[in-house]
Amino acid sequence: MQEPSETRAVVPPLRLNALAPDFTARTTMGERSLSDFRGRWLVLMSHPADFTPVCTSEFIALARQADAFTALGCDLMALSVDSLYAHIAWLADIDRRYGVRIPFPVIEDPSMVIGTAYGMVDATSPDSATVRATFVIDPDGIVRAISWYPMTVGRSVEELLRLVAALQTTDREHASTPAGWTAGQSLLEPAAVTLDEALAAEAEGQGWYTRERKS
């Protein structure tokens, strides 16, 4: 009788403010560990497959904005289940066809160990073709933001930059950002949690839950 095929352990998806699982893996820029990025912000993103149109467009857009991420003290790192050699061939093809050098490491994860640890891949899934996940990890290795996109929809690089800037600003200023906030715009004070604070805000001519502060 044939033994049942082995399945990966069921790992719950990461949640906000969880410690990002450490790993060491081969990448297009040599061996990398997540812990190598401690002290800096990191955008870790998975893509469904090499040589696909949406993923190619994302990598080109990210490469063209790499300096903007660097200015925020934020590194980039990508991952897919494809092999290291497939990654290298794909990045070389992007360089040759579009004249764009990809300046960040791309992790190979053919066993889906990393993808599974991050909840990117279902434990019983044979591949990761539907995965387009993004994790923003802070300098202490804590997951601060997570986004998931379907295979057919590419991510917005401008939104990733805005998100990192917003997280950094709210940490620094101990405030919140309103809808569509961009760097330099007003922030929101924390909502009043006592009657005295609420009345003081009203006396200043601001709503107790919409008080603005210049960033």
* Token digits of residue 65: 């904005």
* Cβ proximity of 133 and 118 under 8 Å: yes
Residue 126 per-residue DSSP state: S
Of 5, 8, 35, 31, the C-alpha closest to 21 is 35
> 55 catalytic, yes or no?
yes
DSSP states of 150-215: -TT-PPPHHHHHHHHHHHHHHHHHT-B--TT--TTSPEEPPPP-SHHHHHHHHHTTS-TT--EE--
Q: What angle do CA 31, 98, 32 make, to 5 degrees?
A: 10
Q: Which of 55, 63, 112, 161 is catalytic?
A: 55
Which residues form the catalytic set?
A: 55
